[in-house]
Amino acid sequence: MVIKTTPDPRPSTQKAWGFNLKLEKKTIKTFVYSDTGKDIESRFLNHKVTNIKEIDDPLDSVASTGWKKKSKYS
């Protein structure tokens, strides 16, 4: 039996959102992916989230497979 799958024809609507996340001892600047950005605070209930704004995708230039060419040993 052969099962064929087709790629999803719908483009992704997720965007990158940058924000400040206050942890117990420090505040970090980080990002997540979301459609609208309205669900970000609910993902981090135990921490304070501030300065949410849409940003350019920081991982846009990174290869999606994670595989690299094998390097030669010197």
Distance set, CA 22 to CA 15, 46, 53, 57, 58 (Å): 22, 9, 16, 22, 21
Please report whether residue 33 resides in a domain. yes
Tell me the C-alpha distance between 46 and 60, whole Å: 29
Q: Is residue 7 part of a domain?
A: no
The reply to whether 39 falls in a domain is yes
- Residue 45 placed within a domain: yes
CATH of the domain at 48: 3.10.20
Name which of 45, 30, 29, 36 is nearest 15 in CA terms. Answer: 36
In a domain, residue 24? The reply is: yes
Under the phi-then-psi rule, with left for phi > 0, alpha for psi from -120 to 50, and beta for the rest, what region is 66? left
Structural domain including 50 reads 15-55
21, part of any domain: yes
Mean pLDDT per block of 10 residues along the chain (74 residues) reads 68 88 96 94 94 92 63 64
Q: Is residue 49 part of a domain?
A: yes
